Amino acid sequence: MPSFPRSAFSLLTRLAVVALALALAACATTPREVPPGRFVERSVVVDGGSHRYQVFVPSRQAGGKHPATVLFLHGSGERGTDNQRQVDVGLGPFVREHAKTFPAIVVFPQSPDGTSWTGTQARVALAALDAAIDEFDGDEDRIVLTGMSRGGYGVLELAIMEPRRFAALVPVCGGITQPPALKEHLQVEGVALAPDPFLAAAQKLQKLPVWAFHGGKDDVVTPDQSRHFVEALRNVGGNVRYTEFAELGHNSWDAAYATPELWTWAFAQQRKGGLF
């Protein structure tokens, strides 16, 4: 075996130590790749029938141990049984684009053709919400209910049914009474028989934080639906914000869900038990 002078051995030792230190420093300074959240398919049995839905599950880095939960209600065009359309329009594309950083569980139920978020479909949405929170350890005090168009009506329908369940409401291009331009039946059934449905809804929901969105040129569900509801909430002392996109038509959901302040506000809300 060849022998090395002590000085040469010492130099090799120092070089090895330096190389090891550089390698450790590189490992310490190179950021770890954060895995994105993922979409998973699930089903729930309600009224004897099986109903499929999708759930976005955030990464632990983005959502923490007990993430907030969003329940999203789609519009008329996404109805069906394919368990796909409801994530292709509205909140789904935004969440997919921000899958690495979106910090909340998002539940995407789907209602069949010809239905609204009432009766069985309301119970399906709530059952899917409960199942997702239980499976993925969601924070039950930070549940945000949002929806667009027919789903915007559904937001108010479900909140009137279960006002203690939610921390915040985000109806987008929704309403309360029948839109004149829409031939298909659409209204919030929970207040439909009240002399003033807007006031009745406001009185039931006045203690829930609400941020409503609408397009100023919406000719499907006209913006007076949101305007009247917001005015009624303000008149009863409600906690409400309203954003109207002056140049947008019915599709105000892309702009609404891309509003950065919305999510900061929404995830800061906490359910306040015993207020109703």
Span 114-126, pLDDT tens digits: 999 999 999 999 9
Residue whose C-alpha is closest to residue 93's, from 257, 245, 218, 213: 257
Given this model, what pLDDT does residue 15 score? 52
Q: Which residue has the higher pLDDT, 275 or 270?
A: 270
Which pLDDT score, from 0 to 100, does residue 112 have?
97
Per-residue pLDDT averaged across 128-135, rounded?
98
157, amino acid identity: E
The percentage of residues in the chain with a pLDDT greater than 90, rounded to a whole number, is 84
What number is the average pLDDT over the span 222-232? 98
How confident is residue 17, by pLDDT bands cut at 50, 70 and 90? low
What pLDDT shows up at residue 35? Answer: 83
The pLDDT assigned to 11 comes to: 52
Please, which pLDDT band fits residue 273 given cuts at 50, 70 and 90? low
Amino acid letter at 254? D
pLDDT of residue 274: 43
Question: Which two structure tokens, joined as six digits, stand for 79?
Answer: 């109805």
Give me 76's structure tokens.
Answer: 């008329």
pLDDT digits 0-9 by tens, 159-203: 999 999 999 999 999 999 999 989 999 999 999 999 999 999 999
Reported confidence tier of residue 34, pLDDT bands at 50, 70, 90: low
pLDDT bracket for residue 9 (50, 70, 90): very low
Q: What is the pLDDT of residues 47-63, one digit of tens each?
A: 999 999 999 999 999 99
Please state the rounded mean pLDDT for residues 257-266. Answer: 97
The predicted structure's pLDDT at residue 7:
53
Using a pLDDT cut of 70, give the percent of the chain over it: 86
User: What is the value of pTM for the model shown?
Assistant: 0.87
Stretch among 136-140, 260-264, 272-276 having the lowest mean pLDDT: 272-276
Mean pLDDT, range 249-264, rounded to an integer: 97
- By CB atoms closer than 10 A (0-12, 13-18, 19+), residue 145 is buried
pLDDT on residue 276: 43
